[in-house]
Structure formats: structure tokens, C-alpha cells
């Protein structure tokens, strides 16, 4: 029986510390699709705000917590903290501090971290798309440079 750990040195796609055009395009497209889905499902403004805020919190946690090196753990932590914060703030606005609040807190502790993990995979997926766009832009730029170089060579002959 081998105790050797598998080599998992692949790229981690998480919220980056620097942005480029491909990242901004992917983020804008992701949020557009999210808000369109919320609108189509008659979710309302507050539902869209809550989900968008949740995804933004998870994305920022991936970039900031643990130096950006452990996005999965950061997503789980952000999911738990966000869900508890929303529950407590919502209870404060509603004036409910009884058994319902305790049940909601237990539910938030149970469902918040897995929801954060799932949100983290969505955030990583958005930046996977951004990476694909970035590579596509590089191919197009290198193709253009190659075409310009070929045209210059023809003109000089």
C-alpha cells in the first residue's frame, strides 16, 4: 500500500489579485447571466442582491483569505460567515430573536459552508472562462502579428 500523495499542481482558478480585459468580460458576463436567471425566475431585486453579494463575498474571500493560496477553504469560510451575517441582520430588521432565529442559525451553519464551496466553484468557473478568453486573445494577436509580418515580407520582396 502506497502512502504517496497525488501530485495536484494544476492551475487553481479562483478570484485573481490582478484584472485584465478577459477577467472583466467574464465577470460581467457571469453577473449578467445571474441577474437574467433571477429575473426569469421572478426572484426580485433582493434575491438578486443577496445572491450577487454572496458570490462577491466568496470571490473576495478567495483573493484575500490565506493569501489566495487556498480558494476552497476560503469559499467554505466565506459561505458560513455570509449566511450567518445575513440571518442575524435579517432577524434584527424583523425583530425576531426567538427559537426561529436559533433554528435559522443552525441551518446557516449547516448549509452556509457547502453553499460557499459551490459558489467558489462558480467563481472558479468564471475565471476558467476568463483564462480561455485570454488564450483566445493571445492566439488572435499572434495570428495578426504573423499576418502583418508576412505582409511586410511580401512588400519588401
Q: What is the pLDDT of residue 144?
A: 73
Q: What is the pLDDT of residue 86?
A: 87
pLDDT tens digits for range 112-152: 999 999 999 988 888 888 888 888 878 877 777 776 655 55
pLDDT tens digits for range 64-116: 888 778 888 999 999 999 998 888 888 888 777 778 888 888 888 899 999 99
CA-CA distance, 15 to 38, in Å (whole number)?
A: 23
Whole-prediction pTM: 0.72
Amino acid at each position: 500500500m502506497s502512502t504517496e500523495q497525488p501530485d495536484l499542481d494544476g492551475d487553481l482558478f479562483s478570484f485573481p489579485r490582478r484584472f485584465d480585459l478577459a477577467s472583466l468580460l467574464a465577470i460581467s458576463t457571469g453577473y449578467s447571466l445571474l441577474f437574467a436567471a433571477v429575473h426569469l425566475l421572478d426572484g426580485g431585486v433582493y434575491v438578486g442582491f443577496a445572491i450577487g453579494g454572496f458570490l462577491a463575498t466568496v470571490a473576495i474571500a478567495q483573493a484575500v483569505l490565506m493569501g489566495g493560496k487556498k480558494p476552497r477553504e476560503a469559499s467554505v469560510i466565506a459561505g458560513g460567515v455570509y449566511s450567518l451575517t445575513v440571518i442575524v441582520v435579517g432577524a434584527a430588521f424583523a425583530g425576531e430573536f426567538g427559537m426561529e432565529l436559533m433554528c435559522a442559525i443552525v441551518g446557516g451553519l449547516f448549509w452556509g459552508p457547502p453553499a460557499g464551496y459551490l459558489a467558489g466553484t462558480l467563481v472558479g468557473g468564471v475565471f476558467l472562462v476568463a483564462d480561455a478568453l485570454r488564450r483566445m486573445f493571445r492566439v488572435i494577436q499572434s495570428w495578426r502579428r504573423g499576418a502583418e509580418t508576412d505582409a511586410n515580407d511580401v512588400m519588401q520582396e
